[in-house]
Chains A and B, each alone.
Chain A
Amino acid sequence: MNGADTFTLAGRAFRSRLIIGTGKYASFAETRRAADAAGVEIVTVAVRRVNIVDPGKENLLDHLPLDRFTILPNTAGCYTVADAVRTCRLAREAGVGKLVKLEVIGDEKTLFPDVPATLEAAKILVDEGFDVLPYVTDDPVACKRLEDLGCAAVMPLAAPIGSGLGIRNPYNLRIIVEQSRVPVIVDAGVGTASHAAEALELGCDAVLMNTAIAGARDPIQMAEAMRLGVEAGRKAYLAGRIAPKLYATASSPLEGLIR
């Protein structure tokens, strides 16, 4: 019998190939139910100022205990190297580990990454001992540079953040999968379960999403659908699909036909 099918991120093996964001849910309780329905081991969170006037009774991490979930803080909203690095340092000091999702945004409208700034920030963070998971365009050269800098994974986008457009350039993703020796995690742009399946069918190691689940009419049901989509895509990848052909090949025997 084969061992468990896991992927290894910064020296740790994970069974679930789905990572979800925790933004845009109606409540912390719903966030937790979605994480459970999605079967995830890793969740992303954002780093923000505490509202000191009204700190609130509950905190997100009360619902996502560290013995159950690996917390992946992001640098969402950062447009400069300095802000992204500062955010990562704060996140690490808050005591959830040294894994960070690095995003340095280059454009407000598309939320596409500023790739040169992402490379610069990644270098600083890797040198400081962070396990860096960079959000990046689906550009094989940029992904290679990030891997060479020592990033723990590369996270090319499928489509713009929150767009739900699905995988816009499967050929680039295939090239990135073929060239990478670190995990490839599709991050952003997934809209529905078939998109998640496609990412895994292409050989990506995992997929990260937030809006596709949190924005669905029934987030808990969509979380489960995404879990199944990821599992289906992974199994299809391992099973080795048939080569596509233009013309038909009969499935039933040609011998013994009635005359």
Chain B
Amino acid sequence: MDHKLELIVQSMQAEFGARVEEFRGETHIFVEAPRIVEALTALRDTHDFKLLSAMTAVDYWPQESPRFHVVYQLTSVTKNASIQARVAVGGEQPELPTASGVFASANWREREVFDMFGIRFAGHPDPRRILMPTDYEGHPLRKDHPLGYEEPQFTFNFDEIRLAKPSPKE
């Protein structure tokens, strides 16, 4: 582990009971879902991680339960260090408290995570989809979402696919 992070990790472990993992030189701190806003605030104010450089989610379905990890990648410009906070969420209606009060840039990123993974953020000021059309059904980056929608057209199924294909109305 980066020696700059050791004290920070120890303090996060003591304060939040956070589990720590390392992968290829990156430090991941796992925080319980109800305390994520508190943990992000502590990282921002106490430990000087003022920049939320990325926020996304990972779907580990069907290997892991709970299936999603929401990932907050934080950067400290003054310390030249980066750290990753992770929250595991699952269930039919995965939900987290919003971090948009801590980092203003989390607003659109949470909208993207909602759009792509269907994870809701309680208290979000504007919880709409951001990328997909508003009438889209489902969340496309979930692993159980169908990948594409059309079979490739070859000679043996040419007519079948041509008939099934939608065509424009004149």
State whether these chains interact.
no
**Which positions in B face A, CB cutoff 8 Å?**
none
**Which positions in A face B, CB cutoff 8 Å?**
none
